[in-house]
Amino acid sequence: MEELKIPIPNMVKTENEFDFRNTMINYYNILYELFTTTFKWEGLPDYMYEEGADLYLENALTINGKVLFFKDDVLNKYLLYTYTGQDINFYGRPLAYQVSNPAGYSKKIDRQNGVEIFNSPFRTPENNTISLFAEKLATCDMIMMINLHTQKMPFVISTTQGQELTTKNFLNKLNKYEPKIFVDKNFDLDSIKVFNLNPPFIASQIQQLKTSIWKEALCYCGITGVIDKAERVNVEEQDAFNGEANAWLMTRLKTREQAVDNINKKFALNLKVNVRQDLNMRLEILNGQNSTNIEGDDEKWQVLQ
């Protein structure tokens, strides 16, 4: 039996098509930058900063949740890199570490010669959290764009199969506000039926939801978000939110401080790790505000240090 082939007209990309993937990537990049630049490492050898080890450190902790700090006696340099554990002890901790770099570096490090740095007590990375929030924020944008578009064209069109492509092109011209519309001689306007959906306008409600999601994402990073003066915020609720953000921040800071203590004792170094004091400045840039609002308006801006 011959396969039935239904002719499908070429689809014409509309002006209002929402790019969900790129929107999600954009939010991911913003949040990723916040998470990977929350902490500042001080006291590393100069060559480690020159080679980008400090940047790699936070990137690796965000993506993998763990990094190994060690000294290579052959190269006579301190290095840090992701690793795989080998020969676990009774409690599941590795007795040795395998470090392999795409540049060709490969070495087994004994536990006595390396110190593990963890992103959190359970070695969990932040990448999944960042991806989840990026998807939520992009979804809000998509819903808002669809809702705005339905206010512009709040109806469903019914037409014959043979005129589907012609009708689509016809509507695209309307959608782009073209003052003159040209159609072919076979275009049958009577074949089109319009069904009004009467869609409610909910974009403003979705924007409020998006703001809430954004604040929650900043909370995980350890930053309290923008507090609008027009927004009624219960003092107890705000204190609870600040406490939660501080808890997330301190959990990540404590594991780094513990690693710093172990590194300093093992290698006689003087490393320090602190929360960056320019978190408020980066938050200012992201929200398009001026420095006066951040430095002089404590009611509107609160950044945990």
- pLDDT tens for 149-198 read 777 766 667 777 767 777 777 777 766 666 555 556 666 666 667 666 77
| Residue 7 pLDDT > 90 | no
> Are 48 and 78 within 8 A, CB to CB?
yes
Residue 283 backbone dihedrals phi, psi, to 5 degrees: -70, -35
Helix (DSSP H) and strand (DSSP E) numbers for the chain: 9, 10
pLDDT value, residue 116: 96
Q: Look up residue 296 and give its two tokens.
A: 């002089």
pLDDT value, residue 293: 35
Q: What is the pTM of this model?
A: 0.73
Measured distance CA(128)–CA(21) in Å, rounded? 16
Q: Name residue 69's beta-bridge partners.
A: 80, 115
Question: Which among 198, 217, 225, 204 has a CA at the least distance from the CA of 143?
Answer: 204
Strand-pair category, 106-110 with 94-100: antiparallel
| Residue 92 pLDDT > 80 | yes
More confident residue, 175 or 226: 175
Tens of pLDDT, residue by residue over 118-139, are: 999 988 999 999 999 999 999 9
Range 228-242 average pLDDT? 54
pLDDT value, residue 183: 58
Q: Name residue 108's beta-bridge partners.
A: 98
More confident residue, 184 or 37: 37
> Are 37 and 49 within 8 A, CB to CB?
no
Helices 279-287 and 20-36: crossing angle in degrees, nearest 10, is: 160
More confident residue, 7 or 294: 7
pLDDT value, residue 131: 94
